[in-house]
Amino acid sequence: MEKFVINGGRKLKGSVKVDSAKNAVLPMIAAAVLTEEETVIKNCPPIGDVVKMTEILRSCGAKTAFCDGNLIINARDISINSVSEKLCGSLRTSVLMLGALAGRTGGAAVYRPGGCNIGKRPVDIHLYALKTLGSSVYDESDRIICCGKPSGGDVYLDFPSVGATENALLASVTAKGVSRIFNPAKEPEIEDFVGFLNAMGAKVYGAGSSCIRVEGVKRLHGAEYTPIGDRIEAGTYLIASAITGGEIAVEGVNAENISSLTGKLCDNSCQISVGNGIIYQKSIRERKAFDTETGPYPSFPTDLQAQITSLAAVSEGTSVIRENVFETRFGHVSELVKMGADIAVDGRTETVRGVKKLYGAVVSAKDLRCGAAMVIAGLAAEGQTIVLGAHHVERGYYGMHKKLAELGADIRGV
Ligand code: EPZ
């Protein structure tokens, strides 16, 4: 998809079901390398990043296939434990192949990972974790090499990095000894990833707490697993409804996982209720400014910061939004200003002065969540908005424009 064409002004109405969480599915695909048996990840959306991870696994000798909405992986014939520069450069999660391949084959070589341009995104914490777990790690200018099967150990993460927590888990589940990961990420996707590993026969305890304990096992077996719903996809649609003054129901996600967002939407303009696992949102008054700041879970998620900035842009008063996770996650600001928003960025803080309305324009999806923010702004803007770079959005959302059209939006993909 090249671009989205949106004619703004329609209130969203109806119900939408989210897919499995992208950021839970991606580490699960890496973990499939740890067993010679077949694994099945159910309700797996064939979004860009998921397809890329299957290409990485196939390049190492695994077989993968999408069948009836499920992803089937068979990594019996892993014969290569290195990943090409092109594939590594295509997404952040390629770095997880270090822990996965080292755990399976005793060695791994990858190139620096790609991913959204939202900050420096070093991998120092990943490499510290792998070293501490017993591998020898060689960090060359562009390549990273891991030698030796991890033997286990105590890992103290300086920052609760999601990816580094996942790499440490991948390296420790089949290590000889016991491992402990202190200050791990607590995101729901981490707990779900641990659920998948334990379904494969791993012995991982304490996910969601300040210390995860792993008792290494000799081997892992296959598993069939249904990941949790995507809380960021759900949050994106809730914000889209709020900015249009709409009323929607969102199915397939645990409301507790996005309580930081639903609280803000209530401050802004909405009534939110939950029943039978469905989140009901209704716009009940004029949008009002709000403050928030992102942080590791359970703080407000950085992956919804761009989207809620679009909402703040047309909320009466001044909103202050601070981005504490990625130092340059502000690509959406210049694009929103093109549509008439009044936003100033100082360091990591956005000051958003609400304007009466935004106006349609040609804008760019500079990264995945920037793209989502531009679609949201286009839904509320007067006139037509064209969002270029729609492929960025398709890396993380399956059929976003179709789901929004079913909710009444005037949007098409070209
Ligand atoms: C994961 O990225 C997610 N991606 C991101 O979602 C999400 O924004 C992020 O976690 C935070 O929740 C996937 O799960 C595929 P981090 P990750 O390691 O693992 C610094 C999206 O839009 N850091 O928790 O890369 C890093 O620079 C994507 O779906 C180091 O300094 O995030 C950043 O400032 C975007 N050294 C902070 O920690 C390291 O070794 C958080 O990074 C690792 C990270």
Peptide bond into 160 cis (omega under 30): no
Residue 187 alpha carbon, nearest atom of ligand 1: 12
Quick: pLDDT tens for 239-269: 999 999 999 999 999 999 999 999 999 999 9
Shared-domain flag, residues 31 and 111: yes
Q: Which domain holds residue 332?
A: 3-19+229-413
Judgement on whether residues 169 and 271 belong to the same structural domain of the protein: no
Ligand 1 atom closest to residue 91's alpha carbon, by position in its atom list: 15
Q: What residue ranges line ligand 1, CB within 6 angstroms?
A: 22-23, 26, 92-93, 116, 119-126, 159, 161-164, 302-303, 325-326, 368-369, 396
Strand 107-111 with 143-147, pairing: antiparallel
pLDDT tens digits for range 257-308: 999 999 999 999 999 999 999 999 999 999 999 999 999 999 999 999 999 9
Helix residue spans in 250-380 (DSSP H):
259-268, 305-313, 331-338, 368-380
What residues contact 130, with CB distance under 8 A and at least 6 apart?
A: 98, 99, 102, 137, 146, 150, 167, 168, 171
Indicate if 339 and 369 belong to the same structural domain.
yes
Q: What angle do CA 363, 371, 41 make, to 5 degrees?
A: 160
Ligand 1 nearest-atom number relative to CA 115? 35
247 & 388 share domain:
yes
Amino acid at 399: G
Given the residues 60, 88, 116, 370, select the one marked as catalytic: 116
Number of separate domains in the chain: 2
pLDDT of 230: 98
Q: Which two tokens stand for residue 110?
A: 């990858």
- pTM higher than 0.85, yes or no? yes
Are both 408 and 322 inside the same structural domain? yes
Active-site residue, 116 included: yes
**Whether 277 and 191 share a structural domain:** no
**Of 170, 196, 225, which residue constitutes the final position of a domain?**
225
| Residue 142 confidence (pLDDT) | 87
